[in-house]
Structure 1
Amino acid sequence: MGLRRSHLVAACEQRAVMVFDPLSRRQVHHIPHAHDNCVNCIKFLDSRVFASCSDDHTVALWDVRNLKRRIRLLQGHSNWVKNIEYSAADGILVTSGFDGKILGWDINGYTEESLLPTELFKMQGLMRMRLSPDCTKLVMCTTGGYMVLVHNLSLEHLAQDLQDFKVSERE
Structure 2
Amino acid sequence: MTEFSMALQGVVKFGLKQGLAKGLVVGSNSITFAIWTFMAYYGSRMVMYHGAKGGTVYAAGTSITFGGVALRSALSNLKDFSKALARGSPLWFPLLLRFYDPLGGEILLDGAPINTLQIKWLRSQMGLVSQKPTLFATYIEENIRFGKEDATIQEVMEAARASNAHDFISQ
TM-score when scaled to structure 2?
0.23
**Greater fraction of residues in strand:** 1
TM-score when scaled to structure 1?
0.23
**Greater fraction of residues in helix:** 2
Larger radius of gyration: 2
Which of the pair has the greater relative contact order for Cα pairs under 8 Å at 6+ separation? Answer: 2
